[in-house]
């Protein structure tokens, strides 16, 4: 029942990107009878196409268009042209996501009030509260099938979790379990239960893991109100004389430019491409780019604190068996400034295969020598965890256009600038210490404190704000400047919280679809 819309049909809602934000929004809108054209830069893959091989899978689906970096973050040295790990494919990064699905805590929606003024941090309260978000979190959890919600059982813990749990309990941590995961612990929603394959980061071949690509998009197609165009890379959003959005220009798979007219446009290209597109769409009416009267487009880029702790244990672990992310300690996610920093962090188990471990145990050119080699040679003795902490939004951390370097379409590439905030550094140090303690308690003979990887959580570059001067969009993700332009991905985040972002992105998309449908029926957009 897949539909085709005419390029000149100006009644459609155009959604840019088919990932967590765009894929969900597309489905929700088309379920409500709204005609949607979703433009996705990547190709469409089925679960059969996924490759259980780390480097091949990465090269198959990761966003590899050139990007540049600057700033003092270790990424600029270790991965100068790969600031983030994002997927270019139908389903976006939910193809590779691990599935951790956590709600934000109440205080994390109002950090300016809770944390006060922090030098160098551009803190702001969200224009939404947890209370307002709760019904949408509920819907999102049901949609994704999050374990430990709606009566869905938790997943069984794997070897990596056993080690983690043992150390955590010996240290006295209380809230330690196999997490709330967007992975089927039982068959559900037409998808299989998890077979503990261990290639969640490469695309789940059994389809047990929720992904916008095969969970949302096919449902949208069944409505008959939806068209997906793949290999359609949007390079400009256009507007009419009155300043309202009237369409988009994209490069199709043959390299030809097409213009699709639109009633509204929702941007969900993930937090690097979304601000880049707004900046590239500048015009004489909007010389600084679309929706940028505040000057905040591309600013306040956040990526979560991150870091990993790997340990060489005294006995075989075989942590590659089973889910990539298999469990969590939430005790450290509170805000307790007595620890020397504001905000908190989650500790989540993480396992990589030997090929990625070789590249990621100590990333960059210093990753060699006896210590790293010994760990790799004893791969079956490794255990590992990942740190996800709230990082401080800083105005100088930003996505901007690098006009010196052009991409395959001749457009300026995004430059991603990032410096850690003092609070980030203190929190990471604390988390490294705790992670190390966990593994020592469980019998580690050697421990690695591994610096951040290319960002998988990219957030905040078109932040929501109550007042137009403080941010790019309002509490519904609607542009403060242009009534029929929406931000529909993690770029909306006012601040980052300690939790993995996707559940919140999906909840916001469900909420936004409701708002758009209501306003469309009223005729205000």
Ligand X SMILES: Cc1cc2nc3c(=O)[nH]c(=O)nc-3n(C[C@H](O)[C@H](O)[C@H](O)COP(=O)(O)OP(=O)(O)OC[C@H]3O[C@@H](n4cnc5c(N)ncnc54)[C@H](O)[C@@H]3O)c2cc1C
Q: Is 184 exposed, middle or buried (0-12, 13-18, 19+ CB in 10 A)?
A: buried
Residue 268's binding partner out of other proteins, ligand X, ligand SF4, none, with CB under 5 to 8 Å set by partner kind: ligand X
Q: How far is 77 from 447, CA to CA, in rounded Å?
A: 23
Is 450 within 8 Å of 104 (Cβ atoms)? no
| Chosen residue from 25, 29, 204, 265 binding ligand SF4 by CB under 6 A | 204
Question: What is the phi/psi pair of residue 239, to 5°?
Answer: -135, 165
CB atoms within 10 A of CB 187: 11
Does residue 452 interact with ligand X by CB under 6 A?
no
264 interface partner picked from other proteins, ligand SF4, ligand X, none, CB below 5 to 8 A per type: none
Among 27, 35, 94, 479, the residue binding ligand X under the rule CB under 6 A is 94
Work out what residue 378 binds among ligand SF4, ligand X, other proteins, none; the CB cut-off runs from 5 to 8 Å by kind: other proteins
Segment near ligand SF4 (CB under 6 A), from 21-29, 191-199, 243-251, 299-307?
Answer: 191-199
Q: What are phi and psi of 275, to 5 degrees?
A: -65, -35
Q: Which CB, 65 or 141, lies closer to ligand SF4?
A: 141
Count CB-CB contacts under 10 A for residue 86: 26
Kindly tell me which of 194 and 305 has the beta carbon lying closer to ligand SF4.
194
> Which of 13, 86, 200, 232 forms a contact with ligand SF4 (CB under 6 A)?
200
CB of 185 to other proteins, least distance (A): 6
Residues 427-486 close enough to bind other proteins by CB under 8 A = 442, 445
Which CB atom, from 173 or from 199, has the smaller least distance to ligand SF4? Answer: 199
CA–CA gap between residue 118 and residue 267 (Å, rounded): 31
The residue number whose beta carbon is nearest to ligand SF4 equals: 197
**Residue 194 vs residues 19, 77, 79, 122, 320: alpha-carbon distances, Å:** 21, 37, 32, 41, 15
In angstroms, rounded to a whole number, what is the distance separating the alpha carbons of residues 474 and 299?
16
Asked if residue 123 binds ligand X (CB under 6 A), the reply is no
Tell me the C-alpha distance between 332 and 97, whole Å. 23
**Does 354 contact other proteins by CB under 8 A?**
yes
Tokens of 455: 């960002």
Question: Of 176 and 277, which has the nearer Cβ to ligand X?
Answer: 277
Binds other proteins (CB under 8 A): choice among 74, 105, 149, 196: 196
CB of 194 to ligand SF4, least distance (A): 3
Alpha helices in 127-216 (DSSP H): 130-144, 159-171
User: What would the x/- binding string for other proteins be over residues 38 to 67, using CB under 8 A?
Assistant: --------------xxxx------------
Q: Which residues of 390-428 are buried (b: 16+ CB within 10 A; e: fewer)?
A: bbbbbeebbbbbbeeeebeeebbbbbbbbebbebbeebb
DSSP-assigned letter for residue 411? P
Look up tokens 């944390």; give the residue: 115
Residue 208 CB, nearest distance to other proteins (Å)?
10
Specify the residue, 328 or 442, whose C-beta has the smaller distance to ligand X: 328
Tell me: does residue 209 bind ligand SF4 (CB under 6 A): yes
- How near is the Cβ of 230 to ligand X at its closest, in Å? 9
Least distance to ligand X, CB of residue 386, Å = 9
Q: Is 206 in the site for ligand SF4 (CB under 6 A)?
A: yes
Report the alpha-carbon distance of residue 160 to residue 239 in Å, rounded: 52
> What is the 3-class SS of 66-123, one letter each residue?
CCEEECCCHHHHHCCCCCECCECECCHHHHCCCCECCCCCHHHHCHHHHHCCCCCCCC
Distance CA 480, CA 477 (A): 9
Residue 209 binds which one of ligand SF4, other proteins, ligand X, none, with CB within 5 to 8 A depending on kind?
ligand SF4
Asked if 7 touches other proteins (CB under 8 A), the answer is no
Span of 105-113, 340-348, 364-372, 398-406 interacting with other proteins by CB under 8 A: 364-372
The set of residues, in sequence order, having a beta carbon less than 8 Å from that of 24 and lying 6+ positions away, is: 143, 212, 216, 505, 506, 509, 510, 513
Q: Is 507 in the site for ligand X (CB under 6 A)?
A: no
Q: Helices 502-522 and 130-144, interaxial angle, to 10°? A: 100
The reply to whether 436 sits near ligand SF4 by the rule CB under 6 A is: no
- Report the distance separating Cα 495 and Cα 302, nearest Å: 8
Region near ligand X per CB under 6 A, out of 19-27, 128-136, 299-307, 357-365? 19-27
Interface residue with ligand X among 5, 15, 35, 40 (CB under 6 A) is 40
Which residues of the shown chain bind ligand X in the complex (CB under 6 A)?
16-22, 39-42, 85-89, 92-94, 96-100, 201, 233-234, 268-270, 273, 277, 325, 456-457, 489-490, 500-502, 505
Which residues of the shown chain bind ligand SF4 in the complex (CB under 6 A)?
183, 194-200, 204, 206, 208-209, 322-323
Which residues of the shown chain bind other proteins in the complex (CB under 8 A)?
52-55, 153-159, 161-163, 165-166, 176-178, 185-187, 193-199, 205-206, 312, 314-318, 320-322, 327, 353-355, 357-359, 365-370, 372-374, 376-381, 442, 445
């Amino acid at each position: 029942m897949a539909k085709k819309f005419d390029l000149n049909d100006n009644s459609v809602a155009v959604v840019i990107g088919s990932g967590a934000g765009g894929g969900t929004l597309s489905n929700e809108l088309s379920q409500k009878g709204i005609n949607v054209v979703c433009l996705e830069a990547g190709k469409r893959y089925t679960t059969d196409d996924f490759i259980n091989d780390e480097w091949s899978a990465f090269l198959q689906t990761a966003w590899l268009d050139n990007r540049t970096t600057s700033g003092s973050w270790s990424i600029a040295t270790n991965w100068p042209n790969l600031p983030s790990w994002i997927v270019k494919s139908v389903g976006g990064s939910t193809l590779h996501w691990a599935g951790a699905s956590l709600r934000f805590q109440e205080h994390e929606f109002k950090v300016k009030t809770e944390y006060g003024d922090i030098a160098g941090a551009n803190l702001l309260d969200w224009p939404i509260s947890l209370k307002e978000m709760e019904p949408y979190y509920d819907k999102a959890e049901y949609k994704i099938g999050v374990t430990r919600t709606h009566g869905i059982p938790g997943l069984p813990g794997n070897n990596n979790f056993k080690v983690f749990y043992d150390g955590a309990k010996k240290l006295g941590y209380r809230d330690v379990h196999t997490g709330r995961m967007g992975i089927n612990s039982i068959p559900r929603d037409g998808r299989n239960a998890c077979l503990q394959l261990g290639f969640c980061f490469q695309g789940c071949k059994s389809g047990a893991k929720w992904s916008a690509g095969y969970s949302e998009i096919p449902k949208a197609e069944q409505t008959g109100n939806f068209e997906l165009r793949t290999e359609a890379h949007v390079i400009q959003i256009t507007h009419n004389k009155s300043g309202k959005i009237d369409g988009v220009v994209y490069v199709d798979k043959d390299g030809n430019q097409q213009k699709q007219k639109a009633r509204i446009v929702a941007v969900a290209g993930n937090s690097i491409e979304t601000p880049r597109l707004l900046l590239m769409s500048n015009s004489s009416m909007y010389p600084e780019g679309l929706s940028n009267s505040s000057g905040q487009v591309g600013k306040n880029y956040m990526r979560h604190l991150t870091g990993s702790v790997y340990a060489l244990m005294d006995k075989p672990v075989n942590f590659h068996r089973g889910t990539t992310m298999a469990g969590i300690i939430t005790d450290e996610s509170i805000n307790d400034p007595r620890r020397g920093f504001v905000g908190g962090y989650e500790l989540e188990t993480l396992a990589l295969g030997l090929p990625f471990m070789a590249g990621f145990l100590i990333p960059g050119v210093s990753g060699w020598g006896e210590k790293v080699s010994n760990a790799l040679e004893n791969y079956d003795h490794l255990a590992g965890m990942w740190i996800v902490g709230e990082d401080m939004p800083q105005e100088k951390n930003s996505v901007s256009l690098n006009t010196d370097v052009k991409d395959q379409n001749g457009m300026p590439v995004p430059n991603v600038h990032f410096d850690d905030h003092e609070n980030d550094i203190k929190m990471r140090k604390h988390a490294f210490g705790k992670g190390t303690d966990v593994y020592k308690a469980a019998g580690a003979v050697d421990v690695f404190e591994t610096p951040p990887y290319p960002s998988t959580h990219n957030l905040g570059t078109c932040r929501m704000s109550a007042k137009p001067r403080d941010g790019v969009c309002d509490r519904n993700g609607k542009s403060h400047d242009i009534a029929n332009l929406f931000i529909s991905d993690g770029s909306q985040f006012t601040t980052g919280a300690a939790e993995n972002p996707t559940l919140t992105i999906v909840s916001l998309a469900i909420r936004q679809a409701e708002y758009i449908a209501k306003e469309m029926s009223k005729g205000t957009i």
